[in-house]
Amino acid sequence: MTAIVVQDLRVSRGGTEVLKGISFSVDPGSVYALLGGNGAGKSTTLLTLLGFLTPDSGSASVLDNDVTQCVSRVRQQIAYLPEAATLYPHLNAYENLEYFLDLAGRKTTQLELDQALDEVGLQLESRSRHMEDYSKGMRQKVAISLAILRETPVLLLDEPTSGLDPVAIDEFNALVRNLAGLGKSILMVTHDVYGACQVANRIGLLRRGQLVGSFDAPAGERIETDRVHATFAERATA
């Protein structure tokens, strides 16, 4: 079963057509990176898959569930990591994770929380501090651990490495590849060509609401950054 299928999707926001008939699919255990500049329609694609926006035409489904018909079921299958996710500043990392996981109907143990926070590399001594004292990168790490702990088959990541330092970006990319290796289907939107090439099995270039190119990773290899970069510079930002 294909994890995400988007077919000729058209979506308007505020009277302007943002997505102009895009089609792509994400296979189980793979990473699909939607690459594009500002205003290309990357976040609109994610919000449509989450059921926050209604398509003008076309279709989108997650694990065979139409996103307009089965919003609740779709959201149960998806862990969503928004860009610059702001969790509750008056709660610490544990409390935030417990709150949002409980919201999603998932109970966790302290051990599971610590394992997830270890995985994203959040220092032990920071975990019991209120998040108002966290740097942007630390906040993002907690949000990533939240996405991991949701244990959903599909992950939607909106500019996930935004605000992370280079070391943390490398760690995050390794984590994403690891999650895909565990069978998760991941759709990430980004304007980071290097990061996309590091983790994605397939890259789609989005420009003004249209897919203007795509790249597939050869078996066992990564997509060539220079090729994507050149095409991105030529088509996606033209």
Partner 1 sequence: MMREFKFMLRDKAVWVWLSLAFVFSLAAVSLGLNEVSQQNAEIAELKQLDRAERRTNLAAQADWGSAAYYTFHITYDPPSDFAYAAIGQRDVSPWKHRIRMLALEGQIYETDANNPDFALVGRFDFAFVASLIAPLLVVLLLFDLRSGEQVAGRLRLIEASAASGAKLWWSRAGLRVSALAVALCVPLIAGGLVSGAPILTLAFCVGAVCVYLAFWTMLTLLLAPATRTGAYNLTTMLGTWLLLCAVVPAILTQLIERVVPLPDGGEIVLAQREAVNDAWDLPREATYEPFLQRYPQWADHTAWNDEDGFEWKWYYAFQQVGDQTAEPLSQSYRVGQARRDELARWSSLISPATLMQRTMERLAGTDMQAAIDYEQDVRQFHGVLRDWYYARLFKAEVFDADVAIETIPTFDPVGR
Report how many residues bind partner 1 under the rule CB under 8 A. Answer: 24
Shortest Å distance, C-beta 70 to partner 1: 13
Angle at 24 between CA 23 and CA 25, to 5 degrees: 140
Shortest Å distance, C-beta 97 to partner 1: 11
- For partner 1, which is the closer residue by CB, 87 or 203? 87
- For partner 1, which is the closer residue by CB, 97 or 175? 97
> E-strand spans in the chain?
4-13, 16-26, 31-36, 57-62, 65-66, 78-81, 154-158, 185-190, 202-207, 210-216
Number of C-alpha atoms within 13 angstroms, CB side, residue 168?
20
Shortest Å distance, C-beta 86 to partner 1: 4
Please identify which residue in 70, 104, 212, 217 interacts with partner 1, judged by CB under 8 A. 104
- For partner 1, which is the closer residue by CB, 139 or 207? 139
Compute the residue count for the chain.
238
Shortest Å distance, C-beta 71 to partner 1: 9
- For partner 1, which is the closer residue by CB, 52 or 194? 52
Q: What are phi and psi of 95, to 5 degrees?
A: -65, -40
Shortest Å distance, C-beta 235 to partner 1: 29
Task: Give the CA diameter of the chain.
Answer: 50
- For partner 1, which is the closer residue by CB, 51 or 209? 51
- For partner 1, which is the closer residue by CB, 149 or 205? 149
Over the window 127 to 146, marking each residue x when it contacts partner 1 by CB under 8 A and - when it does not, the resulting string is ----------------x---
Nearest residue to 236 via CA among 33, 41, 91, 36: 36
**Bridge partner list, 202:** 32, 216
* Contact status, residue 187 vs residue 34, Cβ threshold 8 Å: yes
* Contact status, residue 11 vs residue 201, Cβ threshold 8 Å: no
* Contact status, residue 237 vs residue 37, Cβ threshold 8 Å: yes
Shortest Å distance, C-beta 225 to partner 1: 30
Contacting partner 1 within 43-102 (CB under 8 A): 47, 50, 52, 72, 75-76, 78, 80, 82, 84-88, 90-91, 99-100, 102
Give the binding site for partner 1 (CB under 8 A). 47, 50, 52, 72, 75-76, 78, 80, 82, 84-88, 90-91, 99-100, 102-105, 143, 150
